[in-house]
Structure formats: structure tokens, C-alpha cells
């Protein structure tokens, strides 16, 4: 399923090194998580609600018993990766691009890892943990991607990427996408290289594909997505001096369509976007992510102070809203 995790032993009270922690303690944690996932109580620590789960541990960092990569996938739900020509590659039980990125990251960590040194990590929220079949669109927002701290070489590289993609023409570029296909019980996946090659028309077609479940266009998603985008747009317009360079926008929805018998599934939704019949409303969430190059007046490392809102980001949001609205009415 592409749900990838790092499992490590907790730091002890006396701050002993990772070398002194036992391999067994790390495996005990994993065994408890595995048992929790297959228990009849329905309570899960790892947040994919698929049963049965097949748990495998791959690509362990050699000589570091406490740092492992774990790939969990469902036997019945596969994903498809398309190449640049739109051809479908072999079926996989995970998101191939997610696994590729994860392996690269682990290799970097392994090469830099000092076995006698403790490491600190950021704990990130898994924003799709409450979704059974999460459909995710990752959009790089704005007409400029390089931060103020970028080298001249990186600046030139980022400017070229923007000029040659929909970042310049639409203020948004697809960095990744996975869509649950109800007809084949598989995922359709695209990566950032696919997104870079899209024309404005191709971008619109990709958004249409994101809202299509293989059986029909999910027109019920347009209104809640647009509503949340408009709310975000009104907020961004009020943010003086903020520049969200190289940040992304995640659009998430539940791929499993709800019936009228289901219970309400609210998650991160603005109350002003709630319909009268909330129990039949699709579960949708929109998140701004990746703020490493965001700057604003008063930030610790800012060298350049900007005035007014981020017009490149606003340009992208406005085009996104317009495109989704047009898709919903069949244009």
C-alpha cells in the first residue's frame, strides 16, 4: 500500500547510545504493532484499515539493528505506475514512487549514520491515516520554486523547471498522484516527472483523472474541494509578506464511495463547507505542506522582506478552483 515506517527503540532515560539498546526491544515494538493490526478489537497503531496485512521488513541498514524500513501492503489492493508515455507498468502491491523515495532517504541516512550517536527526528502526522482508500494529489504551488537561500545554480535550475511546466502558466504543478480505481481495485499512480511534462490542457486532464474512480467521474467531490480551496484562498490573500516558495498542497479524498447508511466521516473540514446532509458528504481534506523555504517578515533567516500576499500562490489557487469547477459542469 506504500505505507512505509521507520521502527526504532525509544531513547532510554540515561541517554545511552543506540549501540547499547537491544535488537530484541526494537522487534518487540514491531511485534506489538503487528499484533495490534491483526487483533479483533479493530484498534490499530499503524493506520491502514486493511485486513489481512502482510508485513515485511526490507532493506535494513547493515550493522544498525535499530533502524529498519518496513513495507506494509494489502494482498488485494495493488497500484499501477505509468511511464512518461502513459503506459502502465507492472502491477505492484505498493506505490513504486513512494518506495523509491523512501529507499533513497534510508540510503542517505545509512551513509551518514554514526552507530554511537543518538539521532533526533521530526515526527510527522500521517494525514491519510483515517482513509481506507486514500486518493492523493500533491501540487507544487506558485510560479516560483527557489527559496531566498538557493544558490545561483539551484535558482537557475528551478526557474527553468517553472518555465517549462505548468508552474509558470497555471501557478501549480503536479508532483505526485494516486487514485483508487474502483473497477480494478487498484491504484493509478503518477510521479513528479509526469507532472513536469504536462501542458495546461494535460494538467486539466490529469485533474479530471484524479476525480475519476475508473467507473465514473466523482462530481460529488468538486463542491467540497472548491469550498476548502476558496477558504484557503481568502486566508492567503490576507497574509502580508508571506512567500510559500517550493511548498505543496495536498488534496485528499476517500476513494471508497459512501452510502447513505454510513456514519458521518468528517476530517479537517471547515464548518462553513458542511452540507445539510453531512452523512452522505465525501471525506475531503486539503493541507499546505513543506515550508522549508517559506519566508515572512520577522522570520529568523529571512534576508529579503516582501510586501503584500504571495501572488504566485494566489494565481495557482485561482486556476485550480476554476479548473475543478469546469470539470464538475462537464467543461
Dihedral class, residue 298 (left if φ above 0, else alpha if ψ from -120 to 50, else beta): left
Planar angle of CA 307, 165, 315, nearest 5 degrees = 35
Residue 25 vs residues 18, 20, 113, 153, 298: alpha-carbon distances, Å: 11, 11, 20, 46, 45
Residue 5 has what pLDDT?
62
CB 175 within 8 A of CB 162: no
Q: Verify cis geometry, omega within 30 degrees of 0, for the bond prior to 67.
A: no
Whole-angstrom distance, CA of residue 106 vs CA of residue 207: 32
Report pLDDT digits (tens) over 58-73.
Answer: 333 233 323 333 333 3
Say if residue 307's pLDDT is above 80. Answer: yes
Looking at per-residue confidence, does 279 or 9 come out higher? 279
DSSP 264: P
pLDDT of 59 reads: 35
pTM tops 0.85: no
* Residues 139 and 248: beta-carbon distance below 8 Å: yes
Residue 176: pLDDT over 60: yes
Q: Tell me: the pLDDT tens digits for 43-59? A: 333 333 333 222 333 33
User: Which uninterrupted H or E stretch holds 249?
Assistant: strand 248-254
Residue 268 in this model has a pLDDT that exceeds 50: no
Helix or strand (DSSP H, E) at 68: strand 68-74
Indicate the range of 98-112, 128-142, 200-214, 246-260 predicted with least confidence: 98-112
Place of cell 462553513: 272
Of 40-44, 104-108, 190-194, 311-315, which range is least confident?
A: 40-44
Amino acid at each position: 500500500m506504500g505505507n512505509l515506517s521507520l521502527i526504532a527503540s525509544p531513547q532510554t532515560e540515561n541517554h545511552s547510545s543506540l549501540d547499547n539498546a537491544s535488537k530484541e526491544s526494537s522487534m518487540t515494538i514491531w511485534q506489538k504493532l503487528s499484533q495490534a493490526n491483526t487483533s479483533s478489537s479493530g484498534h490499530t497503531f499503524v493506520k491502514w484499515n486493511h485486513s489481512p496485512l502482510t508485513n515485511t521488513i526490507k532493506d535494513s541498514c547493515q550493522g544498525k539493528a535499530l533502524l529498519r524500513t518496513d513495507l506494509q501492503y494489502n494482498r488485494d489492493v495493488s497500484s499501477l505506475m505509468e511511464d512518461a508515455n502513459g503506459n502502465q507498468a507492472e502491477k505492484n502491491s505498493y506505490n513504486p514512487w513512494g518506495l523509491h523515495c523512501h529507499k533513497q532517504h534510508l540510503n542517505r541516512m545509512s551513509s551518514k549514520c554514526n552507530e554511537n550517536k543518538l539521532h533526533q527526528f521530526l515526527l510527522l502526522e500521517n494525514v491519510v491515516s483515517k482513509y481506507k482508500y486514500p486518493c492523493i494529489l500533491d501540487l507544487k504551488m506558485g510560479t516560483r520554486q527557489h527559496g531566498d537561500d538557493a544558490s545561483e545554480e539551484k535558482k537557475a535550475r528551478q526557474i527553468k523547471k517553472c518555465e517549462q511546466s505548468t508552474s509558470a502558466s497555471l501557478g501549480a504543478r503536479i508532483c505526485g498522484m494516486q487514485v483508487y480505481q474502483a473497477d480494478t481495485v487498484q491504484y493509478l499512480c503518477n510521479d513528479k516527472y509526469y507532472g513536469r511534462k504536462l501542458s495546461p490542457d494535460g494538467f486539466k486532464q490529469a485533474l479530471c483523472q484524479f476525480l475519476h474512480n475508473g467507473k465514473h467521474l466523482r462530481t460529488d467531490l468538486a463542491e467540497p474541494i472548491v469550498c476548502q480551496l476558496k477558504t484557503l484562498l481568502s486566508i492567503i490573500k490576507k497574509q502580508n509578506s508571506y512567500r510559500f516558495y517550493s511548498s505543496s498542497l495536498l488534496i485528499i479524498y476517500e476513494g471508497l464511495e459512501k452510502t447513505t447508511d454510513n456514519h458521518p466521516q468528517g476530517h479537517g473540514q471547515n464548518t462553513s463547507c458542511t452540507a445539510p446532509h453531512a452523512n452522505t458528504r465525501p471525506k475531503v481534506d486539503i493541507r499546505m505542506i513543506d515550508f522549508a523555504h517559506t519566508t515572512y517578515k520577522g522570520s529568523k533567516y529571512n534576508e529579503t522582506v516582501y510586501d503584500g500576499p504571495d501572488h504566485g500562490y494566489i494565481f495557482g489557487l485561482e486556476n485550480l478552483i476554476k479548473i475543478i469547477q469546469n470539470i464538475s459542469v462537464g467543461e
